[in-house]
Amino acid sequence: MAKRIVSLLLACLTMGAGLAQADPEADLAGLVKHYKDRLPDLKPQDYIFGALAYNKDSMEQYLSIMDFPPYLNDMDKAKALWNKPFKNGKTFGDCFPNKGKNVAGDYPMFDDASGKVVTFENAINSCLKANGETEYDYGDMKTMGLVTAYAKSLSDGSKVNVKVQGKGALEAYEKGKTFFYSRRGQLNFSCATCHVDNVGKSIRSDALSPTIGQTSHWPEFRSGTEPTTLQTRFRQCNIQVRSAPLPQNSEEYNNLEYFLSYMSNGLPMQTPVFRK
């Protein structure tokens, strides 16, 4: 009995210490274990396919569509946007190391100077601004959606490699994590309600995908032809639980993306992809 009280006290103390100190590595390990328990048949390399990996038929249909996807013509437009020189003669590629090849895995990153999370979309707009061009509207899929669809394809195969180091970064990460686990909306669901607690279950005509592997393939072409950035999808998810959506590039969504991207660390990127 005494031993139980002591161990309970110890548990409370360590938990208290845990709450005060963000630990992304432990969070990720916790989720890995959770999904291993709940989805024992899901292979580590298949997490990036989300709900598609739950059954053979879905995967076959997906691979068949990806062989000749319906967004090919949009990707031509996207490539042209990326390569089109600015008024000063420079291009998007000049703003990134390696002309933009294999850089997307580092985003989002935390910028200590500004004290904010910096997403890949932020980097695109910073590039436009630095070269005297008008920045894109974060919600405009015809510009931001298309350009990032092509730009991030230059990082295909490279791994998600988000770093959370330093006080500011850890705070932003924790805010993103809190958002993820907070209930919201008329349906009173949190992101975790579906993607952690009820992962693998059916919801209407879909199945719930695990958080690990979710962020490595954005933008997507949803319904095959609608370019959709990750934060546009956040808005859609929030609307689905009847919560007021936030604008793309809001601080909450940037922090959420920061947390979520860390959860996909080590996984190979592929952009864009087809989703229904």
Partner 1 sequence: MADPMKIRATLAGDTADIKCLMNHAMETGQRKDAKTGQLIPAHFINRVTATVGGKTVLEAQWSVAIAKNPFLGFKVKGAKAGDKVVISWEDNKGDKNTAEAAIS
Residue 70 interacts with partner 1 (CB under 8 A)? yes
d(CA 272, CA 218): 6
Residue 72 interacts with partner 1 (CB under 8 A)? yes
**Candidates 69-77, 79-87, 159-167, 177-185 — which segment interacts with partner 1 by CB under 8 A?**
69-77
| DSSP sequence for 162-174 | ----SHHHHHHHH
Q: Tell me how far, at minimum, the Cβ of 158 lies from partner 1, in Å.
A: 27
Residue 37 interacts with partner 1 (CB under 8 A)? no
Residues 81-140 that bind partner 1 (CB under 8 A): none
d(CA 142, CA 14): 49
CA 176 from chain centre, in angstroms, equals 11
d(CA 144, CA 149): 8
Q: Give Rg (Cα) of the chain.
A: 20
**Candidates 39-47, 65-73, 166-174, 251-259 — which segment interacts with partner 1 by CB under 8 A?**
65-73
Q: Residue 165 or residue 225: which is nearer to partner 1 going by CB?
A: 225
SS3 category, 260? helix
d(CA 47, CA 139): 27
Q: Residue 17 or residue 72: which is nearer to partner 1 going by CB?
A: 72
Annotation marks residue 127 as catalytic: no
Size, binding site for partner 1 by CB under 8 A: 6
Q: Residue 1 or residue 72: which is nearer to partner 1 going by CB?
A: 72
Contacting residue, 20, 67, 87, 186, with partner 1 by CB under 8 A: 67
d(CA 195, CA 210): 5
Whose CA is closest to 192, among 205, 204, 207, 208? 208
**Candidates 62-70, 95-103, 196-204, 210-218 — which segment interacts with partner 1 by CB under 8 A?**
62-70
Residue 225 interacts with partner 1 (CB under 8 A)? yes
CB 153 within 8 A of CB 92: no
d(CA 104, CA 266): 13
Contacting residue, 21, 73, 134, 186, with partner 1 by CB under 8 A: 73
Quick one: DSSP state of residue 139?
T
Contacting residue, 3, 4, 68, 87, with partner 1 by CB under 8 A: 68
**Candidates 68-76, 80-88, 155-163, 184-192 — which segment interacts with partner 1 by CB under 8 A?**
68-76
Footprint on this chain of partner 1 (rule: CB under 8 A): 67-68, 70, 72-73, 225
**What residues act catalytically?**
237
